[in-house]
Copies of this chain bind each other. A is one copy, B any other.
Amino acid sequence: MSASSEAIPVETLRWRGGQLELIDQRALPDRLEYVSCTNAAEVAEAIRSMVVRGAPAIGCAAAFGIALEARRQQDRTPREFETAMEAAFRTLAASRPTAVNLFWALERMRGVLAANQDPKSAAAKLAEAALALFLADVETNRAIGRAGAAMVPDGARVLTHCNTGALATAGHGTALGVIRSARDAGKRVSVIASETRPYLQGARLTAWEMIQEKIPVTLITDSMAGHLMSLGRIDLVLVGADRIAANGDVANKIGTYTLAVLAERHRIPFYVAAPLSSIDISSADGSAIPIEERSASEVTGYAGMRWAPEGVNVANPAFDITPAELVSGLFTEKGAVTRPDRRKIRALFPG
């Protein structure tokens, strides 16, 4: 499967049946390289080590990881197959804790597995299901894009955080998808990308994607957002989500909460773009969402260069919680929800 380069210029995940190819996002923008995975453990390691990142992309990768493992194990007895697949689900579920799309995708795959006892037919159905999930993600992002683009004024200078583009999804993107859709709808938009320490997804990935798309982009450090708002140089903030609680609280890349507080002070809209698969009704509010703590080495330097002295303590929470009260609007494939709250979020899931 390979989508046309026109529709999806950045092929974050390429499904080759016997293997999953992932852009190595650690190497961007220096090098556009692919990593190949042929089983669930390799996909889990690619997620853990951030070869692939971004909540929807992680979900797709995990689904393909299950499909790969099923194909690899399809000649086993049903009991051996079941044991191997159980291990594969556990390994993938343990790869990263915060983005709920991972667990959502695994749950979908579990449903397919449960409905197919025979290893060979299960493997075929799981491969179909993973591909369907992948293709649906692109359509979902386009629908999010349409919903959000309607809320982006012509000429808007949009501050975004981390990377929520094609690289974070199966294609098009969530928050960056809204920007793409607004541009495609004829609006002039420009992007202010916060670099997003420690992992620099803004500086490396968002800047790169926007340059590919010829959308004007200005890179800032995370500490500059407040200053630019105080000068009137930002019209709205637009971010993605790793998990949205039932009350509308948003877990997203560390630094998102700060941008929401700043936006409120400056009366700038703060929008979140995410698929329904990022909403976790079982998390009552943000305090129920586990926040991943990552390695100290991400903070003491970057890519093998160390600049902090030996002996320093480090905190490295990868996400923070933005309370729903600070969210001006939520863009999903079902449209825009202004001032999201428990009732409005519940209404997105009929039945």
Contacts and interface: CB of A to CB of B under 8 A. Distances in A.
Interface of A: 29-30, 192-198, 200, 203-204, 207-208, 211, 216-228, 230, 254-255, 257-258, 261-262, 265, 299-300, 302-303, 305, 307-309, 311-317, 320-321
A317 B233 CA distance: 13
B222 A221 contact: yes
A313 to B, nearest CB: 4
The 4 closest A-B pairs by CB, nearest first: A223-B255, A226-B258, A227-B320, A29-B309
Contacts of A211: 309, 311-312
27 contacts: A29-B307, A30-B307, A195-B197, A195-B308, A196-B223, A197-B223, A198-B221, A204-B309, A211-B309, A216-B313, A218-B312, A218-B313, A219-B299, A219-B314, A220-B315, A221-B255, A222-B222, A222-B255, A224-B254, A227-B254, A228-B315, A230-B320, A258-B258, A258-B262, A302-B302, A302-B305, A303-B305
Contacts of A302: 302, 305, 307
Contacts of A321: 227, 230
Interface centre among A203, A208, A309, A315 (most CB of B within 10 A): A309
Interface centre among A196, A226, A254 (most CB of B within 10 A): A226
Nearest to A192: B315
A262 B254 CA distance: 14
A299 B230 contact: no
Contact of A262 (B30, B208, B220, B261): B261
Contacts of A228: 315
Given A223-B258, A224-B254, A227-B321, 10 more contacts: A29-B309, A198-B221, A203-B312, A218-B313, A218-B314, A219-B314, A220-B314, A227-B257, A261-B265, A303-B307
